[in-house]
Amino acid sequence: MCYLRAVGSEKTLHGSGVLIDPNTILTVAHNLFDKKNVSIFGHFEAPGFSVFPGGVQSGISSISVTSESFRYDSAGRWKASVQSQNEPDRESDYAAIILPNNPLGDSARYFSLSFNASESNILKNTVQVAGFPKHKSGQLWFESANVESLDDNFIYQRFGDTVEGMSGCPYYNSDVELIDHLIGIHIGGIRNEPGRDVVRRITVDMALDLQSWLNQ
């Protein structure tokens, strides 16, 4: 798990992400871009974007990245949706940060993408979310619960304690044999439904996008 922090002259933005290989962090697009498709770097006079593997208290040095490391939606769905008058397209609300020069070496643990997880498998097991709430100042926070419902692209959950900073955090099976299998990333809440969260499932389409970004 990774804590994402962008520090500017007037405000600080917080988010979460998850390592899916030694050099790639999967997160949500809205951690990196606003509704006008402007990189977060466009909002800061003196931008600084840092990745903290394991959080600020992990003992691992933070990694500075630039917008050149950002990858998102090669099909353009996210760009089109954020520039419209409607809510951004949550189906395409995912992105990646490519870390430069293998900064973590061979010591990092990362999740495998579980895009073949069946509905019955997800529903029968307790699932867990782990991220970095803004009010915890970069400390890792865990919560677990049973799945409420799901469809082809989303999992719906009532965690009740997911707040700003948790977007992009991993959603995984708490079964010890499957604990390193990533089944989704947290996107956010649902308007007019307090306490209900949306998780973007790992799908084949997402995996193909990620592979294409790694090859760029």
Residue type, 38: V
Q: Residue 78: which of 33, 17, 39 has the closest Cα?
A: 33
pLDDT digits (tens, 9 = 90+) for 1-15: 888 887 766 667 788
Q: Does domain 112-203 fall into CATH 3.40.630.10?
A: no
Q: Specify whether the CB–CB gap between 156 and 168 falls below 8 A.
A: no
Domains 2-110 and 112-203 share a fold: yes
pLDDT digits (tens, 9 = 90+) for 110-160: 888 887 677 777 777 777 888 887 777 777 878 777 788 888 888 888 765
Every domain of the chain and the residues it spans: 2-110, 112-203
**Could you tell me the fold of the domain covering 2-110?**
Thrombin, subunit H (2.40.10)
Determine the 3-state secondary structure of 94 from DSSP: coil
**Portion of the chain with pLDDT greater than 90, in percent:** 3
pLDDT score for 26: 92
pLDDT digits (tens, 9 = 90+) for 191-208: 666 667 888 888 888 888
pLDDT score for 164: 76
pLDDT score for 46: 47
